[in-house]
A and B are shown apart, each in its own frame.
Chain A
Amino acid sequence: MRFGVVVFPGTWSDCDFHYVISEVLHQPVKYVWHRDRDLSGFDCVVLPGGFSYGDYLRAGAVAGRSPVVESLPDFVGRGGYVLGSCNGFQILCEARLLPGVLMRNECLQYRCQSTQLRVENLETPFTRGIRAGQILTMPISHGEGKYYADPDTLAALKRNRQVVFRYATAEGQATKAANPNGSLENIAGIVNEDGTVLGLMPHPERAAERAMGGTDGLLIFQSLLGTLVEDGSFLKR
């Protein structure tokens, strides 16, 4: 699977995604400059974490209107996958590729900590490899990760099973204490209606090696890679 990792001015998880994709998953990967519009060489485009354009105005606001992001609807329409983590999730919301907004953390402070995620939909291309009931551990690192959507949007998200990850306890309870940023209904990640665009605040690339404390983040990539195996050799773990 050919991956493109987008670099905006101020992006900093680009190298980390590149490393995991090339050194851990052994997949072809290239950086994509924010001014590029041609995404024809990729199967999956990653929007990494960081402070694109300094997050001036609002987090992701400027990047959400950049040439590369303007090319994403076409790319998705042609069957491409998009994975936005952290600032990437904020950008996808700003670009209206995903519904809702990400607001300042309820605690009004930056939060870098480990979180546990309950997986709400195992049928998406990003979650197919995850076992039912499996709780994933992944770190967050953001100041503006409080997900919000109006009641109609939230209802539609739930109806279409677009909520993919919720912050939860180790036992899978989506409690207030397990919610690190005040997100609506503990939402940590959502997909578009087709399930081909994933946005999440946690960092899967930081949970992709045992040395870094865990490998749950790899499951997202492995699910994605499995979707390209048409002969059924990709088995649910």
Chain B
Amino acid sequence: MTGSEPKATLGLARDLGLTADEYDRIIQRLGREPRYTELGLFAALWSEHCAYKHSRVFLARLPTHGPRVLQGPGENAGAIDIGDGWAVVFKMESHNHPSFIEPFQGAATGVGGILRDIFTMGARPIAILDSLRFGNPDEPRTRRLIEGVVSGISWYGNCFGCPTVGGEIVFAPEYSGNPLVNVMCVGLVRADRIFRGRADGVGNPVFYVGNKTGRDGIHGATMASATFDEHAEERRPTVQVGDPFTEKLLLEACLEAMASGAVVGIQDMGAAGLACCTSEMPARSGTGMEVELDRVPQRESEMTPYEILLSESQERMLLVAARGREAEVKAVFSKWELDAVEIGHVTAGGDLVVRSHGGVVARVPVEALTEAPSYDKTRTPPPWLDAARAFDPLTLPEPVDYDETLAALLGSPTIACKEWAFRQYDQQVGTNTLVLPGSDAAVLRVKGTTRALAVATDGNGRQVLLDPRRGAAMAVCEAARNVSCAGARPAGVTDCLNFGSPERPEILWQFAEAVEGIAEACRALDLPVVGGNVSLYNETSGTAILPTPIIGVVGVLEDASRLATQWFKGVGHRIALLGPDAVSLGGSEYLWMLHRIVRGTLAPLDLGVERRVQAAVQAAIGAELLLSAHDCSEGGVAVALAEACVTGPEPIGATLDLPDAARTDLTLFGEGPSRVIVSVDPIRAREFEALMAESDIPWQWIGTTGGERLRIRRRATTVVDADLRGLHQTWRRGFERHVA
């Protein structure tokens, strides 16, 4: 077998994505030329996707600790203590490259992969959120991608039985050749029952459990570490094929095996499959591992060791059991009709030894595989940036008809109602979903406690393009603000950092700045980053996506009965705007929609004010003073008000006087951080005012709910006077008309 394999050469190493320098390092580390299979292991484990070669030095800047952090980055997922003996486990991951090549299976296996990351920790998944980015909605290709991605998510999540409760769908032409599919999953586990991807205990048996291994997905990790060209679709065979039914069985079997006490450690076979698990698990434990590939359950014949090790077939785990309890593990998996085969054992000495057909095909120190080179490469701001920022949107003419402009924004596919997608997702299985998709954050109760979790994702590529540091900080603030608007205290962050090729200095600069911005905001808001994912090389034919860090925030509501949603609840309620007046049209949805311009500067961000505004909203909801709370984001305060009017079960009008800015368009559609629209029952107005005074934040009353219209005045002149039914229809149809 080994004799028939090609000889490892520099040329082959290059074909597998390694550099000449990296190839030299491998030789140095091994003290000899690598064998063919060994080279495959290095190529996969040292790929950008697995090793974060270009990003690691920057990621070290993120705050990852906190009093409630039970597990930070470096494991399958992060975990945070939420009280009453429970922990929330969560993580976000990208499946951008596969979803572009094969949208249905790409998105489906993205869901499958992140679900496994959660339940390998011992947690039962309770919620999925999808953060999606597509190109021009009018292009036929975009429509095909949306249909494929949404049905892939629907197919996998629904069959598995985890509700999809949130996320965003955003459009910009920069994603046309490279859509983003970021999936976040949230699970619950007893805080003292968290499992980790460790191979402790020399002599303990190593079990392969779950689906059989095929040739699908070989080179998935290396594919995700390169840019695309016009031949991207030829890579379709590297996309894995999912089976949500097997995943559901794997979930139940894993949780049952874990409950038996026979499991020592467990890890999902995700990117780089068996190769990744057999090296990462012993590396975490300071042990080694010996595996026999002939024992690996296979569904294709004549697979080479290289193929078996690097296959990314789905729904598989590597499990280390306690010696002597093998029968218990086998019994559980047999009950669920899944393979559980002992393929090796934990060894001392730190080597990964792979046997096949009686011979050794790889013998490599696990540390050599998991300690990939880390680069701190040249980075420079893009040359066009200063000019882009210098642009003043107020030099453009004002729109003639603001009713029309508001309707156009409300009906733009990024802002409009996403029911077309969400009604294809099971949103309620598990009967925990207290707030369904369609508000700032979804809320899920924690059965057996009085608590609930609020979850949201956010990220604005245009803002990050113009100011990576502030834009990324704003994304953290907005995701956290969404969670605060449900009444929850943000507890932790997961991030998915989607950028172009790090080999280009200006992309790496964007990346480094964005990470710094995330770190600053997380420190200011006391939010640990407990896990995440970096997706680089999001480029097709040399054109990069908008730099898009997506931030997922999980928050805790101490009292699940005290929560808020974004829409107005009735007539005669007073409306207040919390937060600073400073807004900008730079990088705004308005500027893009009306003028197709992505330029200008962002509004200032004061992290102290942000923190106090969020605390004030949480306190007011906790005191049951708010009937609604809605974050102002894309489209500014006017769109936020219109959403509060039309996104509830029954449209409710409002009459408002807005604080003045330099121009009407800036007043209505200017975007800025730390702003929240709330509604208050007039009989509680005094109490609310007292609480706001204590909170030390800028705020003002701006109007009252009621009527059949949305009326907005500025400087005592009516600037918007729109019929509610019309706005409602525009919002309802704005996204759907592009896909249905």
Q: Does A104 make an interface contact (CB < 8 A)?
A: no
Residues of B within 8 A of A19 (CB): 431, 447
- Contact status B428-A206, CB under 8 Å: yes
Known: A54-B159, A111-B424. A13 touches B245 (CB 8 A): no
Residues of A within 8 A of B248 (CB): 9-10, 12, 51
Q: Considering only CB atoms, which chain A residue lies closest to B252 in the complex?
A: A9
- Contact status A51-B244, CB under 8 Å: yes
A56, A110, A203, A209: the one contacting B158 at CB < 8 Å is A110
Known: A112-B424, A211-B560. A16 touches B151 (CB 8 A): no
Among residues 445 to 500 in chain B, which have CB atoms less than 8 Å away from a CB atom of chain A? 445, 447
- Contact status A16-B429, CB under 8 Å: yes
- Contact status A212-B336, CB under 8 Å: no
Complex CA–CA separation, A29 to B593 (angstroms): 56
A10, A55, A110, A212: the one contacting B425 at CB < 8 Å is A110
Q: Does A15 make an interface contact (CB < 8 A)?
A: yes
Residues of B within 8 A of A234 (CB): none
Q: Does B434 make an interface contact (CB < 8 A)?
A: yes
Complex CA–CA separation, A10 to B338 (angstroms): 13
Size category, B interface: 20 to 34
Q: Considering only CB atoms, which chain A residue lies closest to B253 in the complex?
A: A9
Q: Considering only CB atoms, which chain B residue lies closest to A17 in the complex?
A: B431
Residues of A within 8 A of B244 (CB): 51, 54
- Contact status A9-B337, CB under 8 Å: yes
- Contact status B245-A51, CB under 8 Å: yes
Known: A51-B244, A55-B159, A143-B158. A16 touches B431 (CB 8 A): yes
B 241-265 to A, binary, CB cutoff 8 A, 1 in contact else 0: 0011110110000000000000000
Q: How many A-B residue pairs have CB under 8 A?
A: 82
- Contact status B245-A205, CB under 8 Å: no
Residues of A within 8 A of B428 (CB): 112, 139, 141, 203, 206, 212
Complex CA–CA separation, A173 to B245 (angstroms): 38
Complex CA–CA separation, A51 to B246 (angstroms): 11
Residues of B within 8 A of A203 (CB): 428
Q: Does A42 make an interface contact (CB < 8 A)?
A: no
- Contact status A112-B423, CB under 8 Å: yes
A20, A51, A110: the one contacting B154 at CB < 8 Å is A110
Residues of B within 8 A of A16 (CB): 429-431
Within the complex, the shortest CB–CB distance from B107 to chain A, in Å, comes to: 14
- Contact status A112-B249, CB under 8 Å: no
Q: Does A113 make an interface contact (CB < 8 A)?
A: yes
Q: Considering only CB atoms, which chain B residue lies closest to A35 in the complex?
A: B335
Q: Does A199 make an interface contact (CB < 8 A)?
A: no
Within the complex, the shortest CB–CB distance from A10 to chain B, in Å, comes to: 5
- Contact status B424-A51, CB under 8 Å: no
- Contact status B430-A54, CB under 8 Å: no
Among residues 201 to 221 in chain A, which have CB atoms less than 8 Å away from a CB atom of chain B? 203, 205-206, 208-209, 211-212
Residues of B within 8 A of A206 (CB): 428, 431
A 27-58 to B, binary, CB cutoff 8 A, 1 in contact else 0: 00000000000000000000001110111100
- Contact status A109-B424, CB under 8 Å: yes
Complex CA–CA separation, A50 to B423 (angstroms): 17
B 605-641 to A, binary, CB cutoff 8 A, 1 in contact else 0: 0000000000000000000000000000000000000
Q: Does B570 make an interface contact (CB < 8 A)?
A: no
Complex CA–CA separation, A19 to B154 (angstroms): 25
Residues of A within 8 A of B339 (CB): none
A10, A50, A112: the one contacting B427 at CB < 8 Å is A112
Residues of B within 8 A of A12 (CB): 160-161, 248, 429-430
Within the complex, the shortest CB–CB distance from A144 to chain B, in Å, comes to: 12
Residues of B within 8 A of A49 (CB): 429
Q: Considering only CB atoms, which chain B residue lies closest to A180 in the complex?
A: B423
Residues of A within 8 A of B155 (CB): 110
Within the complex, the shortest CB–CB distance from B475 to chain A, in Å, comes to: 28
A9, A15, A56, A110: the one contacting B424 at CB < 8 Å is A110
A10, A13, A109, A209: the one contacting B159 at CB < 8 Å is A10
Q: Does B426 make an interface contact (CB < 8 A)?
A: yes
Complex CA–CA separation, A110 to B158 (angstroms): 9
Within the complex, the shortest CB–CB distance from A91 to chain B, in Å, comes to: 15
- Contact status A205-B431, CB under 8 Å: yes
Residues of B within 8 A of A141 (CB): 158, 426-429
- Contact status B429-A13, CB under 8 Å: yes
Q: Considering only CB atoms, which chain A residue lies closest to B335 in the complex?
A: A33
Residues of A within 8 A of B154 (CB): 109-110
Among residues 137 to 167 in chain A, which have CB atoms less than 8 Å away from a CB atom of chain B? 139, 141, 143
Complex CA–CA separation, A109 to B160 (angstroms): 17
Most chain B CB neighbours (cut-off 10 Å) among A20, A53, A112, A209: A112
Within the complex, the shortest CB–CB distance from A65 to chain B, in Å, comes to: 16
Among residues 73 to 114 in chain A, which have CB atoms less than 8 Å away from a CB atom of chain B? 109-113
Among residues 193 to 251 in chain B, which have CB atoms less than 8 Å away from a CB atom of chain A? 243-246, 248-249
- Contact status A211-B158, CB under 8 Å: no
Within the complex, the shortest CB–CB distance from A170 to chain B, in Å, comes to: 12
Sort A-B residue pairs by CB-CB distance and give the 3 closest, nearest first.
A12-B161, A54-B245, A51-B159
Residues of A within 8 A of B (CB): 9-10, 12-13, 15-16, 19-20, 49-51, 53-56, 109-113, 139, 141, 143, 203, 205-206, 208-209, 211-212
A-B CB contact pairs (8 Å), 20 listed = A9-B245, A9-B337, A10-B249, A12-B160, A13-B429, A16-B429, A49-B429, A51-B158, A51-B159, A51-B161, A51-B244, A51-B248, A54-B245, A54-B246, A55-B159, A56-B245, A109-B154, A112-B423, A113-B423, A205-B431
